[in-house]
């Protein structure tokens, strides 16, 4: 059994299309939409291929027209792209996003898996990094593999009786390289991987969305550098 595990696609079709094609199952850890130019195509890809999927904070925000609780630096990017995303999705796509479960679980080859977007106890919004001690007790008394995304930072670590894997982001990586990140589970082992894609094609699509110039520049910076844009400088006296 070869399982492709991905998260944080963020409507980046070029990155999605660069992912490995050979897999038996596709598991998706949420955030299909926002920030990117192709929400309809990415949703269609996931609906056609995913065996398991959970809802991310941006899926939730788009479906219910709510605040995705982004960091201050990404708030305007999220607001503008959310308006665009909601304008191009039909009612069926919005219902699909809103109907995705917050968590999902299964057992494969004797290994238990728990899927969530952010963290088991706060599946939509908690920003929990690899070095957080909270992983060891969340969920309490549970052993197996926890699969989570949200931070856009790939890692694999073991905490007591559980292994936590974050595949990183497909569509908006923040680990310092412009590439689509993913994880593969096969024969009882999980490996982290990356795929190059045509970043400039995605940038050109964003240019056509008529976003404000600062939002376009910030989104472009993230895509090209695989990192958050520089902090805003307050030039007021």
d(CA 10, CA 84): 13
Residue 80 has pLDDT above 50, yes or no: yes
According to the CATH classification, is domain 2-225 in 3.30.2130.10?
A: no
Q: CA 11, CA 216: separation in Å to the nearest integer?
A: 15
pLDDT over 50 (residue 233): no
Q: What's this model's pTM, rounded to 2 decimal places?
A: 0.96
Q: Per-residue pLDDT for 234 more than 70?
A: no
Q: Which residues contact 8 (CB under 8 A, 6 or more apart)?
A: 29, 30, 31, 56, 149, 150, 152, 168, 169, 170, 171, 172
Strands, sheet with 155-159, edge to edge from the N-terminal-most edge strand:
103-108, 111-116, 144-147, 162-166, 155-159
> Using CB atoms within 10 A of its CB, is residue 108 exposed (0-12), middle (13-18) or buried (19+)?
middle
Q: What is the pLDDT of residues 106-165, one digit of tens each?
A: 999 999 999 999 999 999 999 999 999 999 999 999 999 999 999 999 999 999 889 999
Q: How confident is the model at residue 237 (pLDDT cuts 50, 70, 90)?
A: very low
Q: In the block, which residue shows the tokens 């605040």?
A: 67
9 vs 133: CA distance, rounded Å: 27
For the segment 4-12, the average pLDDT, to the nearest whole number, is 98
Q: Which has more pLDDT, 165 or 210?
A: 165
Summary count for the chain: helices (H), strands (E): 7, 10
User: Does residue 235 register a pLDDT over 50?
Assistant: no
């Amino acid at each position: 059994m070869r399982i492709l595990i991905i998260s944080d696609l963020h409507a980046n079709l070029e990155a999605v299309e660069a992912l490995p094609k050979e897999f038996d199952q596709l598991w998706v850890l949420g955030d299909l939409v926002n920030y990117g130019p192709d929400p309809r195509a990415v949703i269609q890809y996931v609906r056609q291929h995913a065996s398991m999927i959970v809802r991310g904070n941006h899926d939730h925000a788009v479906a219910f027209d709510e605040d995705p609780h982004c960091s201050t630096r990404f708030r305007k990017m999220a607001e503008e792209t959310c308006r665009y995303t909601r304008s191009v999705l039909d009612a069926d796509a919005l219902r699909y996003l809103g109907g995705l479960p917050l968590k999902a679980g299964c057992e494969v080859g004797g290994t238990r898996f728990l899927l969530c977007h952010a963290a088991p106890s706060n599946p939509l919004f908690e920003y929990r990094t690899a070095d957080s001690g909270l992983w060891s007790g969340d969920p309490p008394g549970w052993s197996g593999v926890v699969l989570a995304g949200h931070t856009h930072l790939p890692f694999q670590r073991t905490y007591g009786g559980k292994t936590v894997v974050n595949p990183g982001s497909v569509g908006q990586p923040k680990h310092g390289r412009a590439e689509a990140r993913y994880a593969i589970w096969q024969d009882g082992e999980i490996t982290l991987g990356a795929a190059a894609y045509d970043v400039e094609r995605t940038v050109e699509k964003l240019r056509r969305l008529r976003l404000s110039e600062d939002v376009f520049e910030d989104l472009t910076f993230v895509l090209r550098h695989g990192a958050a844009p520089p902090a805003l400088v307050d030039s007021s006296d």
